[in-house]
Amino acid sequence: MPLDPSFIGRSYPPSAPYEVSREKIREFADAVGETSPAHRDPEFARAAGHPDVIAPPTFAIVLSMRAQEIVVSDPALGLDYTRVVHGDQTFVHHRPVRAGDRLVVQLHVDSIITRMGNDLLSLRAEITTEDGEAVSTAKSTLVVRGTDQEAAE
């Protein structure tokens, strides 16, 4: 079943704030093997010109994945999550995410296209501080694999 094309261009209200902690940054850095003290030592981070420890480049996925729930779980979209694979992911950092940030995410549905029997859902999460300072833009494409029958059509 194809995705509902009326979702294209839809934007959702900003999420509740996510407060970034030093410990969450350290935990994430450990999990991806990023060893820089910039993720762990506030003094080191300050000496490098950051107000506090900064997050690894893919940390923003924690926020954008949560924000995506609002659209992927909407029954009206018609998305079968068991058929979804992550197609691509890009982060553009306007500045590094850092401890103490209170971040809100606004999710946009950029496009829905069908290619070779699969639906491609392109989402964009604009991550800003509560005050509206741009922090990161996270774009992802989710691929909804078509059934063999649909592919044959």
Which residues pair with residue 121 across a beta bridge?
112, 142
Determine if 18 is a binding residue for other proteins (CB under 8 A). no
> Distance between CA 120 and CA 85 in Å, rounded?
10
Residue span 41-80 as binding mask against other proteins, x where in contact by CB under 8 A, dash where not: -------xxx---x-xxx--xx--xx--------------
Smallest distance, Å, CB 98 to other proteins?
9
Give per-residue burial for 41-59: e unless 16+ CB within 10 Å, then b.
Answer: ebeebeeeebeebbbbeeb
Determine if 105 is a binding residue for other proteins (CB under 8 A). no
Q: Which of 16, 31, 116, 152 binds other proteins (CB under 8 A)?
A: 31
Determine if 103 is a binding residue for other proteins (CB under 8 A). no
- Give me the residues that bind other proteins (CB under 8 A), please: 24, 27-28, 30-34, 36, 38-39, 48-50, 54, 56-58, 61-62, 65-66, 82, 85-93, 95-96, 139
